[in-house]
């Protein structure tokens, strides 16, 4: 089918022509009975109103640092949402309305003292929830909506309203600790969702696969001694936090063997990420046999992202999404939830995100990413020997992961 050009009133003929593309897959979503993947999308304009204030990138300003914009601003997320709109893809997604997470739901992970701190800062002029985590007036309430958006996506999947979902939320969550904000993250969105699923949907096994360029330390901490959760993080080695994300962090007590870190050398491209998936991520999922997969999805491993030094691009993210979606089909009837984390280049992130949601939904908009051909030709996109060695070191951890036997 073709996108209805009449929707683009006031747009030039040339622009309308460029926006005409075939849509494959399901034409109806809400209440549809088709066998195609039904993909949910969670978004709210208030996510864009979380105020991180004036900084110089991630660094507070003050003489001699001239004020500038904080790197974790709304623009990359808003442009991601806008691209979904102008390509027509949102017309074919199940729009899930976010809700505010209940305090009892976030207290499954966070301490009461930390929540009180967030409330105090949010009711005033804001402040720092922790290292590199500024917040403004009303940010706590927006963080509740962010965590609640992920919960809404989770509930839609587990109640079988959708097959999979992408929660385009802000502020992000995968660095937040039980009693401390960290790395732009106020509440542990993915961790809160996992704990909610364990308590309310009687799940026994959830896998987390974090492909943000920074280590998913908060999600790791939430389940470090919990054998119900397999936590996997692919990230740039020794980037952030500097003191976490090594191969040696493998879980403790009953959770030993259930945490796998795959630190990758700076400069890793699509070849390294695919190899890591093939050699570690997919075998780990096969051993664990999750009933749900949650992906903290950051696009800051993309080439030219200001907060990372990797070389991923939209087609690379499309490939990873296909692999994780296929694994979800094999192990958990396609139950796959993605929640947005990092990604700070406002021009490239929208195309990375579009590729992921196209793959999740099985709908191609025919949109061409103008950045992908350039990034694909960057030197070193293929798997390099030193990258292979790092992944192979992580693959040894598979021997410590107990196999799950399902009748």
Q: In which residue are the tokens 């009711």 written?
A: 123
Catalytic residue, candidates 44, 175, 214, 331: 175
175: annotated active-site residue: yes
Token pair recorded at residue 345:
């280049």
Find residue 399's DSSP bridge partners. Answer: none
Residues serving a catalytic function are: 175
């Amino acid at each position: 089918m073709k996108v209805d050009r009449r929707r683009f009133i006031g747009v030039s003929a040339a622009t309308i022509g460029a926006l005409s593309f075939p849509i494959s897959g399901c034409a109806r979503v809400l209440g549809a009975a088709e066998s195609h993947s039904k993909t949910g999308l969670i978004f709210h304009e208030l996510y864009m109103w979380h105020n991180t204030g004036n900084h110089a990138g991630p660094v507070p300003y003050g003489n001699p640092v001239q004020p500038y914009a904080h790197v974790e601003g709304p623009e990359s997320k808003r442009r991601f949402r806008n691209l979904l709109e102008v390509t027509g893809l949102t017309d074919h997604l199940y729009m899930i309305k976010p809700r505010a997470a209940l305090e009892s739901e976030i207290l499954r992970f966070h301490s009461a003292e930390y929540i009180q701190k967030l409330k105090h800062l949010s009711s005033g002029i804001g402040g720092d929830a922790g290292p590199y985590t500024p917040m403004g007036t009303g940010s706590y309430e927006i963080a509740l909506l962010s965590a609640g958006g992920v919960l809404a996506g989770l509930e839609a999947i587990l109640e079988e309203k959708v097959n999979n979902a992408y929660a385009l939320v802000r502020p992000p969550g995968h660095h937040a600790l039980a009693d401390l904000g960290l790395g732009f993250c106020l509440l542990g969105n993915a961790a809160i969702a996992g704990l909610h699923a364990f308590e309310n949907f009687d799940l026994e096994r959830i896998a987390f696969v974090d492909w943000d360029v920074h280590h998913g330390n908060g999600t790791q901490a939430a389940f470090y001694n919990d054998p119900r959760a397999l936590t996997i993080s692919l990230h740039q080695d020794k980037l952030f936090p500097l003191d976490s994300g090594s191969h040696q962090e493998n879980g403790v007590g009953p959770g030993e063997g259930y945490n796998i870190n795959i630190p990758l050398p700076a400069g890793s491209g699509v070849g390294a990420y695919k190899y890591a998936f093939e050699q570690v991520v997919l075998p780990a999922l096969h051993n664990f046999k999750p009933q749900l997969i949650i992906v903290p999805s950051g696009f800051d491993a993309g080439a030219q992202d200001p907060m990372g030094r990797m070389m991923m691009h939209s087609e690379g993210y499309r490939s990873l999404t296909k692999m994780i979606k296929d694994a979800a089909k094999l192990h958990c009837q396609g139950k796959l939830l993605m929640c947005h984390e990092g990604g700070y280049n406002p021009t490239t992130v929208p195309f990375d995100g579009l590729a992921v949601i196209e793959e999740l939904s099985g709908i191609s908009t025919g949109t061409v990413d103008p950045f992908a051909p350039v990034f694909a030709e960057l030197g070193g996109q293929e798997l390099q020997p030193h990258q292979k060695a790092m992944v192979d070191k992580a693959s040894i951890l598979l021997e410590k992961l107990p196999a799950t036997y399902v009748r």
